[in-house]
Amino acid sequence: MLTKFSPFRLLEVGITFVKKYQKQNIRTFSLLFTIGLSLTLFTSACSPNISENSGTTPTAQITKTTNSNQTPKVTNSSTVVRIGYQKAATVLYALKAKGELEKALQSSGTSVTWTEFPAGPPMLEALNAGSIDFGYTGEAPPIFAQAARTPFVYVAYDPYGPKAEAILVHKDSSIKNVADLKGKKVAFAKGANVNYLVVKALEKAGLKYTDIKPTFLAPADGRAAFEGKNVDAWAVWDPYLAAAEKATGARTLTDATGLAPNRGYYLAAKSFADNNPAALKTVLAGVTKVSDWAQKNPPQVAKLLSPVLGIDAAVLEAAEKRREYGVLPLTEEIITKQQEIADTFYKIKLIPKQIKVKEIVWQGNK
C-alpha cells in the first residue's frame, strides 16, 4: 500500500492539483508538501533496512559492525560471578564470610553473588538453568548432571575424605551391620555422594541396590524422618552427620572408608569457564587461600561459621577435623575413579546412558 500511495506520488498529485487550480491559495501546495515529507520520514523510520542499531542493557552493550552479514557482538561491561554453595562446603562458607573474594575481583569490575542450596543435585539443576556460574558439590551429582547433558566442567577437586559421610542407624536399632539393611527403609539424597556410598556398602555386604527400600530425602527431611523413626537408616554427610550424631546418639553402621573416596568437586558452567577464565582462576585462588587457612584452624572455622550455619561450634569443629582439604587439579587417577562411579551408576540404571568424565574436565587449571 505504501508503494501505490507513496509520498512521492502524493506530491506529484499535489503539484498537478496546483497547476490545474492556480487560483487556489499557495498554502494548499505547502500543506501537501508537508504531508508528503512527513510520510517520507515515517516510511524511512518503519523500514526494515536499518543501517545502525545501538543500545545497552544493565550488563551488556551491542557493538556495531561494518559488515551487515555479521551478528552483532556482545561485550560485557561488567561481570558477576554467581556462586552456589551448601553446608558441606564450609570452605565456600568461610570464603563468603571473609569477603576476600569480592576484594580480589573488585579491580576487574567483577562482583559476586551467593546462593545456598540444601544439597548438590539442586545446585546442579541451577547450574543447568543458567542461574549460577560456579559451585561445589560431591562426586555423585556431577555424574547425574553430565548424563542429563548439563553444560559444565570440572575445574578442581577437594579430597574431603571418607570419614565425612556415613550410614546411621538409631542407637537402639536391631540393625548391627549393612547386611541387616535388607528390606529396610534407607533415607538419603538421590544423586548425592551418599547415594554411591549406599551402593558400595550394599555391594560389599553381598546385597543389591534393589534389596533395600530407598527413601529419597534432602538432609533436613532425612533428619526429621530418621528422628521420627519413619526410616530404618539414614546416609548423610558432614556437618549434618556430626549434628545428628550429637543430637540423637545415632550409631554409625559404616562410613565410606574403603568404600568411596567421598571427594568434592568445584564446578563451573561451561560458558563461564570459556568466557571468563581469568575470573575463574581468581575464584579458585581465593578458594585455595581459604582452604589452606581452614586446614590449619578448625576451631576458628567452627567459630566463624557456627552463627551462619546455625550449628553448634563444637559439632562443626568435629566435622572439620575429620575431613581433608585442598583445591587440586584433576589428575588421571582422579578422573579414572570418578569414571568408576559413573559406570557403577549406569550399571544399576541410576543414569540412562554411559558418560565419559574426561570429556568435561577444564584444561585451564593446569
Q: What is the CATH number of the domain that holds 239?
A: 3.40.190.10
Whether residue 365 lies inside any domain: the answer is no
Question: Is 127 found in the same domain as 178?
Answer: no
pLDDT at position 50: 29
Which of the four pLDDT bands, split at 50, 70 and 90, describes residue 116?
very high
Average pLDDT over residues 169-195: 96
CB 79 within 8 A of CB 276: yes
Model confidence, pTM: 0.75
Whether residue 57 lies inside any domain: the answer is no
Give the span between the Cα atoms of 156 and 170, in whole angstroms: 36
Write down the mean pLDDT value for the chain: 82
pLDDT for 19 beyond 80: no
Whether residue 231 lies inside any domain: the answer is yes
Among the candidates 194, 221, 255, a domain finishes at 255
Place of cell 565425612: 164
Question: Is 271 found in the same domain as 352?
Answer: yes
Please report, for residues 35, 165, 192, the alpha-carbon distance to residue 195 in angstroms, rounded to integers and kept in the order given: 76, 11, 5
Question: Is 273 found in the same domain as 217?
Answer: no
pLDDT at position 37: 39
- Contacts of 339-347 with CB under 8 Å at 24 or more apart are 341/139, 341/140, 341/143, 341/196, 341/260, 342/143, 342/146, 342/147, 344/196, 344/199, 344/200, 345/140, 345/143, 345/144, 345/147, 345/196, 345/199, 346/147
Whether residue 59 lies inside any domain: the answer is no
Please report, for residues 37, 52, 74, the alpha-carbon distance to residue 42 in angstroms, rounded to integers and kept in the order given: 9, 17, 30
Among the candidates 227, 255, 283, a domain finishes at 255
Count of Cβ atoms closer than 10 Å to residue 106 Cβ? 11
Which of the four pLDDT bands, split at 50, 70 and 90, describes residue 366?
low
pLDDT for 308 beyond 90: no
What is the count of structural domains for the chain?
A: 3
Please report, for residues 72, 101, 267, 326, the alpha-carbon distance to residue 271 in angstroms, rounded to integers and kept in the order given: 18, 21, 12, 25
Parent domain of 219? 167-255
Whether residue 68 lies inside any domain: the answer is no
At 265 the three-state DSSP class reads: strand
At 151 the three-state DSSP class reads: coil
Question: Is 236 found in the same domain as 181?
Answer: yes
Cα dihedral 330, 331, 337, 339 sign: positive
State pLDDT tens for residues 250-294. Answer: 999 999 999 999 999 999 999 999 999 999 999 999 999 999 999
Question: Is 330 found in the same domain as 217?
Answer: no
